[in-house]
Structure 1
């Protein structure tokens, strides 16, 4: 059941509030026969606001909220009274959420990203309230009999996508040992089994390091050749890799051709987003508890030369500290 709780894509019909209309009103008192205009302004329509919440890790709470409609502003009234603003609606979202807009008419809006806890950005602004007739009094027109209507709110189909924020993203074919590695180096408990596509949703784990330091590692569901064109599960989860600062490629030691598998993985990421090539990357050969020193030395001659390679075994706890050291060095260098 836990897997069904990870929702990283929702579509919402969103509409901000209309602004209230300005009032047409004149001051009328017993001893003031010509009191002049006193129509108040209309209130602003309610905004739709996104707020980052570090306690959330999925968009599940928005899955069944198909319509998000803010309140309209209240019309102005006499005696210079302005209408109340419409109530804003705040949507709390996990860090790494991107909001995109679909509309058949009008200019498309720029995407909105939320990356920090407590960060607020207006998804759709409410319409401005109209001015009452007291704002239009002039020396030549002292009794204006008109006021501004309120501006309409904005209306869009909004798509919220979650891109996981992690320091290290695990990239590999199904059954490469990504979930096992994450479960050993962190407290995360991903589902592990001896068959492909055991992992159906991304998993995050906090990896403890020396001197009480730590970093976040993400296990992305297995990529297959053709994932960038929609095959397997890869296309759905490739976007999570975009937010990882370091990519850790995992290829099992029993692969037929380690260099070829690495190139296929690299090729799929390049087709999906060429900018992923700019990220720092590391290659780990997993399941090396079945290899002896002589075999490892022979394999080194067949490995790619353009990436640092480490030999590890999650089950035998082999090379894991060296792996964490290498990842930490790269993260430290990237932040300098």
Structure 2
């Protein structure tokens, strides 16, 4: 058994899968950096990703265009996150309760929408997924090429969002406003910054990222929709934000860590290793808990984190 594990082919396959499985964790985590930097804790990422998954798949199936499917996932992800924005910003509801409620509701709405659109079929509908793009020259490099440069376009775009997110947050006025309303919303308001507008924008950006990640799962990773397709990745994405201390580069490392855990348990199951299947499935979530324990003491959360803002309160 060990001779099958400690091989170059196994290692290359494991690391390539790590990058692929890290993508649907990294993308929503980057979106939540916007949201949480603005002071909003959106625990409804799991539900948003599920809505993005079913809408992205449905649109891609009905139109026959994968890119329109991704756009559909983004739009419906934003619309679903708009509910969270209304509850947490306008209505000033408890953000933890609102997020968990939207997760439960999102799972139900997604399954219901899928049944309405496709009905009950003997064979589930499927779409053609994005094809693998081999980067010229780079993909031919031994070992490195198959790991980094033989993925579909959405994997490349997902990792490209890391420097884009960093640039927006650190080098633009909009990013400065997001950090201002998260740290001291009253001071930001006194300078003419609309706290509600910036927070709404941050939540919608997080919804767009989560919706895109959900659509990735159905039309770029798998080729169909299932009820459990997200499988806790939304919660893991939130933990990556805490683990990374709201830094995009660190969130990439965190996503790769959890992607590695997921890829490892899948590869070990495929090899038929003599470990209980349930224990292997627990591996990514065990790593999530350990990461949160280690990172919680060093986390640097915004001062107004989860605190609703009202001009009338002092």
Q: Is the TM-score greater than 0.5?
A: no
- TM-score by length of structure 2 reads 0.19
Greater Rg by CA: 1
Highest relative contact order (Cα 8 Å, sep 6+), 1 or 2? 2
Task: Answer 1 or 2: which has greater helix percent.
Answer: 2
- TM-score by length of structure 1 reads 0.18
